[in-house]
Amino acid sequence: DGAPAHFSRQVREVLDAHFPDRWIGRGGPIIWLARSPNLNVLDCFVWGHIKNVIEHQRNGTENEVREAIVAAFNTITPDMAHRATRDIVRRADLCVRERGRHFEQFN
């Protein structure tokens, strides 16, 4: 997302070490459209799903919240991931059709 904390030299060095030539982000080896959350499965599906599942855990301890997050990720089935990915393809087609302009009204 280009946030300074996500773009620091240290973060990029860790990404380069663990995912050489395979990470996506500003300054990374794989180019991704800036400010394109509608074309990102994490932004379009995963974070919303996780938030909905763990909403009740806001007052838990750090460990309880961490465990709830892991459990929430485990609720994502292969079918859910497939549908979310398929939806991103549809959104990418809309983006191309609209020549990169705003296309949320077509969802």
DSSP string of 24-87, one letter each residue? BSTTSSB---TT-GGG-HIIIIIHHHHHHHHGGGTTS-HHHHHHHHHHHHTT--HHHHHHHHHH
88 & 50 share domain: yes
Report the SS3 class of residue 19: coil
61 & 11 share domain: no
53 & 81 share domain: yes
6 & 46 share domain: no
| Entry pTM | 0.54
26: domain range?
A: 1-32
Q: What is the pLDDT of residue 71?
A: 93
21 & 53 share domain: no
Residues 43-96 pLDDT 10s? 778 888 999 988 877 778 888 888 999 999 999 999 998 888 888 788 888 888
51 & 79 share domain: yes
Alpha-carbon gap, residue 5 to 8, rounded angstroms: 6
What does the angle CA 27 – CA 30 – CA 32 come to, to the nearest 5 degrees? 80
Q: What is the pLDDT of residue 2?
A: 60
pLDDT over 90 at 22, yes or no: no
Q: How confident is the model at residue 1 (pLDDT cuts 50, 70, 90)?
A: low
